Amino acid sequence: MNESNASTRGVLRELDGKERDSLVYACLKNRWLSSGLKPLKLKDAIRRFSIKSTENLEDLRGYFLARPHGIREGVVYRDLAFVQQVDHGDEWLVLMRLFSDETNQSYWVPFESVSLDRAISSAARFECSIEALCERDPYDSAVLFGVDRQLIRQKDR
């Protein structure tokens, strides 16, 4: 482990402010995560999400090992977010944080739904799984989640 990872090991911070709100807005487009929430009460819906953040791969694995996780609980690792879609289940919506040159702001794109039960049983398997997700192009599968076609065309420009 390098020194920068050693200094952040064991630190899971609560995601808050604009960073959390941006992620939650993207999650609310998912029917499983928005189920049971009142659309006109956005602030109440945001409070129903509990999102942690870490920069350390071992802590990320530890988060998943500390199950069960309730619906709308999640964790951000680098530019990936994992949000539980099933109460006490193992069905994670994976989103990637991207940056818009036009607006100078980041935004989240949902692109995968994964089960991590098998991957967390081995540190090596887990690392490979996460790195594969980090290297994916979210637009390869984002259309399956109903991302606006305009956004997809902007990426290709």
| pLDDT score for 9 | 59
Q: How many residues does the chain have?
A: 157
80, 57, 56: which is closest to 134 by C-alpha?
80
- Number of Cβ within a 10 Å radius of residue 30: 17
| pLDDT score for 40 | 67
Rounded distance between C-alpha atoms, residue 70 and residue 87, angstroms: 4
Rounded distance between C-alpha atoms, residue 42 and residue 37, angstroms: 9
- Number of Cβ within a 10 Å radius of residue 136: 15
Q: Which amino acid is at 46?
A: I
Convert the pLDDT of each residue in 141-150 to its tens digit: 655 444 444 4
The tokens describing 79, both together, are 């530019």
The tokens describing 65, both together, are 């090992």
Convert the pLDDT of each residue in 67-98 to its tens digit: 899 999 999 999 999 999 999 999 999 999 99
- Show me where the domains of the chain are located: 9-156
| pLDDT score for 125 | 96
| pLDDT score for 141 | 65
